[in-house]
Structure 1
Amino acid sequence: MTGDGNLTDRRLLSPQELAEYTGVPLATIYRWNSKGSGPRRLRVGVHVRYRLSDVEAWLEAQESGQGRPAPTLMADVSANSGDGHAA
């Protein structure tokens, strides 16, 4: 990775951080997850995370009235997480 822009775009938010970032209750984030709405999410081991770039794209789509820009993909990236936890 080169430049700070790439690090910012690739930053992963927890559900709590997403709630704080968007100014909605944490329960809303969990509701979005259960309904398959909200920003695209991914799994890092057992944890749900959101790419900041996906959150920004989703927010822009909300502003323009287009809804969700892409379907939710639950990617499991735990195989090489290196945290010692099994997937």
Structure 2
Amino acid sequence: MTSIDPTAERLWTIQDVSTYLGVPVETLRWWRKNKAGPPCRKAGRHLRYNPADVRAWFDEQAA
């Protein structure tokens, strides 16, 4: 049986990313539509972001 590591960082929702980046949810949706924002994946009907990917994307924007 596989167990989930409770110390592992969870995936972020679009609201989590909005708060982290300080941008509206609608901006994230626009970026996704135009392939301009941080990478995300669908889990069923829900968007999920890997926090490490969001941080890496943000760091790349400063370059």
The TM tier, using the shorter chain, reads 0.7 to 0.9
Q: Deviations over 1:20-78 (max 9, x none)?
A: 110011110110111111111101111111000100110110111xxxxxxxxxxxxxx
What is the aligned length?
A: 60
What residue ranges of structure 2 are gaps of 5+ in the alignment? none
- Of all paired residues, the percent bearing the same amino acid is 34
What residue ranges of structure 1 are gaps of 5+ in the alignment? 65-87
The two structures, once aligned, show a CA RMSD in angstroms of 1.7
Larger of the two Rg values belongs to structure: 1
Task: Say which structure, 1 or 2, has more relative contact order (CA 8 Å, 6+ apart).
Answer: 2
Q: State the alpha-carbon separation in 2 of the partners of residues 22 and 62 from structure 1.
A: 12
Give 2:59's aligned residue. Answer: 60
